Every structure is written in C-alpha cells, then in structure tokens.
Amino acid sequence: MMSSANAGREGGSDVSVAPSVSYSITVRLDVPSRGRAVSELTHVVEQAGGAVTALDVAPFGHERLRVDVTCAARDTDHAEAIVAALSAIAGVSLSKVSDRTFLLHLGGKIETQSKVPLRNRDDLSMAYTPGVARVALAIAAHPEDVRRLTIKRNSVAVVTDGSAVLGLGNIGPYAALPVMEGKAALFKRFAGIDAWPVCLDTQDTDEIVRTVQVIAPAFGGINLEDISAPRCFEVERRPPRPARHPGLPRRPARNGDCGAGRADQRPAGGGQEAELSPDRHGRRGRRGDRRAQAADRLGRHGRGGLRRPGRGAHRAGPASTTACGGSPSIRIPPATAAICGGRCAGGTCSSGCPRRTS
C-alpha cells in the first residue's frame, strides 16, 4: 500500500489513498465534560483526513469524560498525525493509542479445539490411553483406515519458506507466520478445513521436499504457499512423498479391471497416490474414489464400521467387459468389484461370491 508521503501524480493531479481499516487505531482520551467536547474530537479527525468509525463515551472522574475514538488512517504516518492533532486540543489528555490490527494478532489467530467432550474419566479413557491404543492398533493393521479414524482427511499443512510473502519479498519464516495463520483461518472459515501453518527455516529445495514428505502422514493435503520462483515449481514438481510411504492409503481401482486382481491396488505411474494441494488438485477425481473406498470398507469383515450388504453394491457404472487375465468374464459393475475386494480369481466373481452378477 502506498503512503501519503509517497503519493504520486497521475495526469498532473495529486493521487491520495483513502483511509483503510488496515490502519485502524483506537485513541483513548480524557476530555472536559462540556457541551461540544466530543464533537470537537470528531471534527479534528475529519480535518486531518481520517474517518471516524466508532465513538465510545463514559464518565471519568469529576467533570471529565473518557472517550475512545476509533478511526481509519491512510498509513502509519497519517495515524500518528491524527493522534498528534487530537492531543493538541485544549483540555484533552491522551491516555493510550491501540493499533487494532496488532490487537487482532495478539497471541495468534488460530487455535486447536477438541471435537469431543472430555467431561469425566470415561471420556478421557476413550479419547486417550488406554482406549486410543485399540484405534492405533487397528490403523497399524489396516493403514487405509487412517482417514476415517483421524483428522488426516480434513487437515492441510500450509507450507512456506518465507521467500515470497505477499508483496513483501523474502522476509523469512518468522515474519511469514501471521500470513500463514490468516490462510489457515480462511481454510476453516470458508471450507471447514483444519489447516495449520508450517513455516520452514530453510530455503533449500531438497530440504523443503523432504520435510513435506516426512510430515505427510498427518495431513490430507499440502498447500505450498509463498515460495519464490523458480524453487516453487521444482518443489511442486516432485512427488509429495516416497511411493512406499508407510501407512499410505491405497486407492481402489475405478473399475473392475485390476492388474493384480485387487480392487484397491495403487494406480499406475510409480504407485503414488494423487494427494496434492487441495486448492489446485484436491477436487479432481475424488468422488468416485471415496465411493469405492466406502464400498470396500462396508464389504470387509471385522475392519470397523457397519457392514451393510447391498448398500452401494448396485450403483453400477460402466461395466467391465474383460478380466485381468484377458479371458472372457462376467460383466462386473465397479462398485461390485470394490465390495468383493477383487478376491475372486481373475477379477471376476466366482459362482460362490454373493456379489456375483449375471
């Protein structure tokens, strides 16, 4: 934002910046208790080019009033000029000046809250030890359930190295933190996504990529933010994590054809899951995958969730006409293949399979 001191000229006329809430201040003043004392304050602010947005008046001592004047300025210098003009009024005593933008950032803008109540010992025993150990063991046995049983499916890491923050340039990870907090707040407010800033004290491409890889298990998406070019393109080009990352959820096949006769086999092309930044790729091709995952879970025995035979079994899309081995096959809808788990030989349902279609 340009300041009033640096206002340029366009077409031979002065160009000034209007007061902005970004430079909003609250000035606390003690004034005499007389007829026009308060109106004189607002008049001085307007004469100085500010915009009064709020006025709070309360009695203070004998024949005195305490007045909080909230006004918007053009920049920091303009705000100081307004304060000086108010202080120069006869009989007015300046108490303190607060910058509303800095007040909003005190202690940070985001926090972690529990989604479940912890009211007694029973709640604590289920949310934490010893009950949580059962969930941990279930995920260890079936890593694909991590999205269903943890915050992973709704969590995003907002990653930056502080090298290209807004229009401020390379200001480093500490100065980038309030900006990343704001981005995380936007995720929560407008998308209901739990995001957390991850400000890295490195600008080495390999270290950034490796850091993203090792923190990936806790997040469903990685948002690369305010990383300078050309490093940002190199970081984005690399895979978000190693192909054999432990605990990586498998993606069910989109149809009945599966190279190894498994409906939950990893896709071709290195076996990596396409789990990228939600603001760029997160909504691409996900709905079918989620339905197939849900169908696969509902058809498993003893892996959590309610087993509801028949639900999702007949949501048939385009039927598969060839088996994995190339032999003639029965036409198997994708949802059916996902529910049976691809356990039938050759990718086709055998005569004993309850999901066999004719």
Tens place of pLDDT for every residue, the chain, 358 residues? Answer: 444 444 444 444 444 689 999 999 999 999 998 878 899 999 999 999 999 999 999 988 788 999 999 999 999 999 999 999 999 999 999 999 999 999 999 999 999 999 999 999 999 999 999 999 999 999 999 999 999 999 999 999 999 999 999 989 999 999 999 999 999 999 999 999 999 999 999 999 999 999 999 999 999 999 999 999 999 999 988 865 554 433 333 223 222 222 233 333 333 333 333 333 344 434 444 444 554 454 454 444 444 443 333 444 334 333 333 333 333 333 444 444 444 444 454 445 555 554 444 4
For 206, residues 6+ apart whose C-beta sits below 8 A from its C-beta are none
Establish whether 128 is a catalytic residue.
Answer: yes
Catalytic residue among 23, 174, 183, 188: 183
Pair 218, 152: CB distance under 8 Å: yes
State the pLDDT at residue 83: 96
Enumerate domains of the chain plus CATH numbers: 17-105 (3.30.70.1150), 121-237 (3.40.50.10380), 250-358 (no CATH)
Q: How much is the pTM?
A: 0.61
CB atoms within 10 A of CB 102: 9
Dist CA 161 CA 204 (whole Å)? 9
Which token pair is 152?
């992973």
Bridge partners of residue 213, in order along the sequence: none
CA 194 to CA 213: how far, in whole Å?
A: 19
Q: Is 115 a catalytic residue?
A: no
pLDDT (0 to 100) of residue 80: 96
315 contacts 291 by C-beta, under 8 angstroms: yes
Catalytic pick from 109, 128, 174, 188?
128
Q: Are the C-beta atoms of 65 and 57 separated by less than 8 Å?
A: yes
